[in-house]
């Protein structure tokens, strides 16, 4: 039996020695040195390797290296194979910090000051009222809840929107399509941390932006949540005042994509959060043990639901 590790973004030099320390006696293989493909029983992956998973005929489980799993193209993975998301304190902390930073940048108007400086303008403005600066988080999973807690700890009133009703302490919760407009009403910042599913693809669209009035968008979910043209139009129309985007339809976006040069869009290259091998390898090792024993994994994906 062997464990396969493949990622285009995670550093194997950080992951493999720690993983091996948690799994003494196990053979851990780094793609493309996969040995006998039929011997691989667990694959630890960010995306599928270029040749897919078809040759891994003994595969029991896939452990995602991301909090999300859509990048694994699970439609091509047999439903009999268990799949687990990565839940890791390092990943949650990174995400909470990124969203707090992006929110504070807007709340303290650094975006306006950056633009004013570039054109030689001294643009004094009084500070804004924090109690009236409501931030809405779409998706209250592990990451959404961590972001909500961090924003609330910094004094921001927080709303949350989820597919099914949910209660999170300190968060005004809204659920489902019928409560989406009420959730959006009056928000200063909208943060997207939804899983990417058929239902949430293109959810950040003109209809949603039309409910906003000069709000800011922070998309740290997936690029496919956003209709790019609708964002550009919403910025032009003033429905949105700016956007911070960490995820894109293709990464990087093509060189002629309008986001690159847009004065009201800040792009970051999918860096909002990453699993920390120092903490995540223990969780991954536990999941490998579970998968090998045929037991349910921690944070296992509901294959029908897609997250």
Residues found near ligand GLV in the complex (CB under 6 A): 66-68
Going from the C-alpha of 307 to that of each of 28, 120, 302, the distances in angstroms are 26, 48, 6
Active-site residue identified among 85, 222, 225, 239: 222
**Closest approach of ligand GLV to the CB of residue 65, in Å:** 7
DSSP string computed for the chain: -EEEEE-SSS-HHHHHHHHHHHSTT-EEEETT---SGGGEEEEEESS--TT-STT-TT--EEEESSS--GGG-GGGS-TTSEEE----HHHHHHHHHHHHHHHHHHHTTHHHHHHHHHTT-----PPPPGGG--EEEE--SHHHHHHHHHHHHTT--EEEEESS----TTEEEEETGGGHHHHHTT-SEEEE-----TTTTT-BSHHHHTT-SSEEEEE-S-GGGB-HHHHHHHHHHTSEEEEEES--SSSSPPTT-GGGG-TTEEE--S-S----HHHHHHHHHHHHHHHHTTPPPTTB--TTTT-
Q: Quick one: 220 or 240, whose CB is closer to ligand GLV?
A: 220
Active-site residue identified among 82, 85, 239, 270: 270
Q: Is 113 a residue of the active site? A: no
**Closest approach of ligand GLV to the CB of residue 250, in Å:** 14
**Closest approach of ligand GLV to the CB of residue 142, in Å:** 10
Q: Quick one: 240 or 274, whose CB is closer to ligand GLV?
A: 274
**Closest approach of ligand GLV to the CB of residue 186, in Å:** 29
Residue nearest to ligand GLV (CB): 66
Q: Quick one: 67 or 135, whose CB is closer to ligand GLV?
A: 67
Q: Is 270 a residue of the active site? A: yes
Alpha-carbon distance of 21 to 25, in angstroms, equals: 9
Side-chain half-sphere exposure of 269, counting CA atoms within 13 A: 5
Q: Quick one: 28 or 274, whose CB is closer to ligand GLV?
A: 274
Q: Quick one: 11 or 36, whose CB is closer to ligand GLV?
A: 11
Q: Quick one: 67 or 83, whose CB is closer to ligand GLV?
A: 67
**Closest approach of ligand GLV to the CB of residue 307, in Å:** 11
Q: Are 107 and 151 a contacting pair, CB within 8 Å? A: no
**Closest approach of ligand GLV to the CB of residue 115, in Å:** 29
Q: Quick one: 68 or 160, whose CB is closer to ligand GLV?
A: 68
Starting from the edge strand earliest in sequence, which strands make up the sheet with 27-30, in order?
27-30, 2-6, 40-45, 61-64, 82-84
**Closest approach of ligand GLV to the CB of residue 303, in Å:** 17
Task: Write out the catalytic residue numbers.
Answer: 222, 270
């Amino acid at each position: 039996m062997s464990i396969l590790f493949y990622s285009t973004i995670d550093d194997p030099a950080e992951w493999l020695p720690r993983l091996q320390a948690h799994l003494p006696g196990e053979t851990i293989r780094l793609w493309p040195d996969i040995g006998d493909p039929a011997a691989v029983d667990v694959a630890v992956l960010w995306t599928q390797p270029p040749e897919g998973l078809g040759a891994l005929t003994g595969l029991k489980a896939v452990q995602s290296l991301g909090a999300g799993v859509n990048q694994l193209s699970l439609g091509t993975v047999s439903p009999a194979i268990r799949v687990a998301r990565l839940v890791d304190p390092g990943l949650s902390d990174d995400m909470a910090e990124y969203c707090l930073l992006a929110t504070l940048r807007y709340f303290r108007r650094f975006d306006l000051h950056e633009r004013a400086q570039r054109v030689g303008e001294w643009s004094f403005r009084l500070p804004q009222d924090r109690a009236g600066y409501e931030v809405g988080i779409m998706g209250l999973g592990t990451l959404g809840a961590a972001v909500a807690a961090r924003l609330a700890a910094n004094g921001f009133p927080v709303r949350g929107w989820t597919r099914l009703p949910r209660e999170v302490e300190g968060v005004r919760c809204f659920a489902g399509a019928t409560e989406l407009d009420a959730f959006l009403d009056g928000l200063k910042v909208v943060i997207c941390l939804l899983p990417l599913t058929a239902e949430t693809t293109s959810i950040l669209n003109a209809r949603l932006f039309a409910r906003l009035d000069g709000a800011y968008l922070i998309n740290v979910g997936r690029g496919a949540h956003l209709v790019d043209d609708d964002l550009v139009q919403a910025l032009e129309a003033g429905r949105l005042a700016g956007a911070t985007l960490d995820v894109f339809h293709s990464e990087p976006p093509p060189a002629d994509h309008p986001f690159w040069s847009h004065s009201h869009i800040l792009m970051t290259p999918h860096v909002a959060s990453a699993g920390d091998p120092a903490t995540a390898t223990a969780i991954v090792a536990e999941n490998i043990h579970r998968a090998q024993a045929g037991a349910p994994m921690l944070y296992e994906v509901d294959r029908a639901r897609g997250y």
